[in-house]
A and B are shown apart, each in its own frame.
Chain A
């Protein structure tokens, strides 16, 4: 019995002495919420980290640290030199890349995040048109910049026009054959963050972008939309009329034919929505029909234009390749890549306006 007690005590002491591990006490850390990368001349990278400063009265202010280094990792580790508490990246919300960095390729940066187990899969990646540092130093309302950007982007993914993306989805589309990643493109405009469009990638290099006005069509081709809005403009009797169609939900379906010889992709797009605003004369069931027709034509045209563009640039953000792969046995990636450029793509759009609002526009 005595021996047992002594042994237990001994083990306790030994283990509690030698078993200690480095602590990461929450209030003794600088928890970075955003990192941004700017290109500074040749081979030089400026990394900017944003850390929220939480004061005892719960107000949050921003702290940014910027350092310059040769590699992304070096620049990031230099951030630690400039901070009075260790900087940790376990709660990163967004990673921002300036357009220049993105065009040079973000392979290294992504690899760092992928390899580090403390970085979450929900990390948002985005490309910034302009200087990242400037954007991160801006303060927004009661949030720190990282959380603010994350909130803005993620709500625009859920009920707006940005295609859903995060670190996991980016990696998936990057690694997958027959699929290229897309990231949102944002800019700082009048002290606000503005969604400018989408950055299109080939591998990890940004090759092109599409403007905001095409984002609705792109998103509906990319994934099923749950909730969004769209504006139509028509000229009738010399008068410009606007339709505002809200509550749009879409469904897309692919059809790939003649895979082995000359593949042909057919896209069926179904759009449902209701009219909220119309600047013309009263809204009636006829107007709804008119709007349906108009929208069908417009979306179709835009979609075809976008797809042509992708084919010209030889990128595949809509994952046609993935669609073909999942429909063929022994899919040949090389042959697909050759065929892709000249492949025929048909878009079929079907719009249904289900409601015209709570007022029937019959003239009194």
Chain B
């Protein structure tokens, strides 16, 4: 069942690279190292590679499905499970997207409150940020993709700043290699995949790609770039911190910036956090765009109105989350759902989908 999208709203397949990559890079980058290093210490970089490889497989599965369907997750659901159950599943998917958006924004505000402005009110910042998001999403999918593109290109300079901590690097920290059991690796693998979440939105924007079949390689490149970036960051973190020190550092990336000293500026973490305002923009725009798009397809309502409703919910939910404990809880819940979604649900859907297609072919 093809989902028709007007020609002028389609995007170039190569831009999928930026969409996939920008959605994976978010607030998690500021402190993902610790959660992995708790289990695997100096071998954490191996986990980064393994987790990245499995994501490639999931992307491959998704393209298999989508290429056949030429639609999005809503049409797949309808195709496989019928109108009502399929619709319900799509609705749940939409809720997941909204929760994802809330988590990202609230976690970022927490970073702001801890590192810069302890007295900053959650709702004022959320309000302004959500207005910016509304403004961008109202420009259509092309503008959202533009935000993804600029959200990758503009903060790119930050990559070079991570070379500064190497002044105090101790490369012996990486030794001995392969010193952890499979069980430990698996536990760290689980937490690492959370940092790769975000590519699953492909299920929603697939019909917006011009000649979507050709975009598969770009999606893989995008993920590969994320893997390389995470690997780079992880290696630098591991040589800069000793494992025991890293386990006590919640935001390792930010802590690394603290060592930077230029003749004209010191303490780079403040500039880093300010740049992160741009980095998380694609995350939020894409998540809320996908959520409102799903709602539009499900209930046949105006996307603008749904978007306003979703953003209002986000604003209220953000304000209600007050302390670190509840934010942490939300984070772990959402990421768990994401984990089951990509490793459990997508393969399951794939099996159902191919099964039903085969049955239909026979009849």
Contact B244 A323, beta carbon cutoff 8 Å = no
- B125: chain A residues at CB < 8 Å are 19
Q: How far is the CB of B166 from chain A (nearest CB, A)?
A: 13
Bound complex: CA A169 to CA B123 (Å): 39
Query: Sorted from nearest, which 3 A-B pairs have the closest CB atoms?
Result: A19-B124, A326-B175, A175-B244
B267-286 contact mask (Cβ, 8 Å, vs A): 1 or 0: 10100000000000000000
- B245: chain A residues at CB < 8 Å are 171-172, 175-176
Q: How large is the interface on B (under 10, 10 to 19, 20 to 34, 35 or more residues)?
A: 20 to 34
Q: Which of B113-121, B188-196, B224-232 sits within the interface?
A: B113-121
The total of interchain contacts (Cβ-Cβ below 8 angstroms) comes to: 70
- Partner pick for A175 among B168, B179, B242, B259, CB 8 A cutoff: B242
Contact A121/B255 with A15-B124, A326-B172 known, Cβ cut-off 8 Å: yes
B258 at the interface (CB under 8 A from A): yes
Q: How far is the CB of A5 from chain B (nearest CB, A)?
A: 14
Is chain A's binding surface mostly helix, strand, loop or mixed?
A: loop
Q: How large is the interface on A (under 10, 10 to 19, 20 to 34, 35 or more residues)?
A: 20 to 34
- B127: chain A residues at CB < 8 Å are 11, 14-15
Which A residues from 297 to 329 make CB contacts under 8 A with B? 322-323, 326-329
Q: How far is the CB of A238 from chain B (nearest CB, A)?
A: 48
Question: Which residue of chain A lies nearest to B259 when distances are taken between CB atoms in the complex?
Answer: A121
A sample of 12 cross-chain residue pairs with beta-carbon separation below 8 angstroms, ordered by A number, consists of A15-B128, A19-B121, A19-B128, A117-B254, A122-B258, A122-B259, A122-B261, A172-B245, A173-B242, A323-B172, A329-B176, A329-B178
Bound complex: CA A175 to CA B246 (Å): 9
Contact A11 B131, beta carbon cutoff 8 Å = yes
A69 at the interface (CB under 8 A from B): no
Contact A326 B173, beta carbon cutoff 8 Å = yes
Residues of B at the A interface (CB closer than 8 Å) are 114-115, 117, 119-121, 123-125, 127-128, 131, 168, 170, 172-173, 175-176, 178-179, 241-245, 248, 254-255, 258-259, 261, 266-267, 269
Contact A169 B266, beta carbon cutoff 8 Å = no
Q: How far is the CB of A326 from chain B (nearest CB, A)?
A: 4
A330 at the interface (CB under 8 A from B): yes
Residues of A at the B interface (CB closer than 8 Å) are 11, 14-15, 18-19, 21-22, 90, 117, 120-122, 168-169, 171-173, 175-177, 179, 322-323, 326-330
- A328: chain B residues at CB < 8 Å are 176
- B243: chain A residues at CB < 8 Å are 176
Contact B121 A18, beta carbon cutoff 8 Å = yes
Contact B121 A117, beta carbon cutoff 8 Å = no
Contact B267 A120, beta carbon cutoff 8 Å = yes
- A121: chain B residues at CB < 8 Å are 255, 258-259
- B241: chain A residues at CB < 8 Å are 172
Bound complex: CA A122 to CA B269 (Å): 13
Other A-B contacts than A175-B248, A327-B175, 18 sampled, CB-CB below 8 A, are A11-B127, A11-B128, A14-B127, A18-B121, A18-B123, A18-B124, A19-B120, A19-B124, A19-B128, A21-B119, A117-B254, A120-B259, A168-B168, A168-B259, A172-B245, A176-B244, A322-B242, A328-B176
Bound complex: CA A326 to CA B174 (Å): 8
Bound complex: CA A90 to CA B115 (Å): 12
Contact A21/B168 with A121-B255, A327-B175 known, Cβ cut-off 8 Å: no
Bound complex: CA A19 to CA B119 (Å): 9
- B175: chain A residues at CB < 8 Å are 326-327
Most chain B C-beta atoms within 10 Å of own C-beta, residue among A18, A121, A322 = A121
